[in-house]
């Protein structure tokens, strides 16, 4: 079963392909994505990599947590599931309260 890793403190010019190539040194990468800002299209400095197995994910953490790229030390750990949160910029309760007036 694939294991999703969080990769933080990435240099801003790192691409998804760069991430894939780097983590392939630790095992089989099933996906690699650098998170981009929707407004600017620029990297947000973090991403996610899925490794094929738990063993490969642990190898990747051991090998790349603290690994330095372009003066930045990577932070690598098991990704936590996203928590439900409201969409930025729109709070329906505020809008609904205004309609009641």
- Please, which residues bridge with residue 78 across strands? 5
Segments making up each domain of the chain, as ranges: 3-80
Per-residue model confidence as pLDDT tens digits over 81-96: 877 555 655 555 555 5
Distance (Å, whole) CA 96 – CA 58: 47
Task: Please name the CATH architecture into which domain 3-80 falls.
Answer: 2-Layer Sandwich (3.30)
* Residue burial 75-91, b: 16+ Cβ < 10 Å; e: rest: ebeeeeeeeeeeeeeee
Per-residue model confidence as pLDDT tens digits over 5-48: 999 999 999 999 999 999 999 999 999 999 999 999 999 999 99
What pLDDT was estimated at residue 86?
59
- The whole-model pTM stands at 0.79
Per-residue model confidence as pLDDT tens digits over 56-67: 999 999 999 999
What pLDDT was estimated at residue 1?
86
Are the CB atoms for 53 and 30 separated by under 8 Å? no
């Amino acid at each position: 079963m694939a294991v999703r890793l969080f990769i933080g403190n990435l240099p801003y010019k790192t691409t998804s392909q760069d991430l894939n190539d780097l983590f392939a040194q630790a095992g089989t990468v099933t996906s690699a994505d650098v998170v981009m800002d929707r407004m600017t299209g620029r990297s947000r400095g973090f991403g996610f990599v899925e490794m094929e197995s738990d063993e490969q994910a642990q190898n990747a953490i051991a090998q790349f947590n603290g690994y330095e790229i372009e003066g930045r030390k990577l932070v690598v750990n098991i990704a936590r599931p996203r928590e439900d949160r409201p969409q930025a910029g729109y709070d329906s309760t505020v809008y609904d309260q205004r309609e009641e007036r």
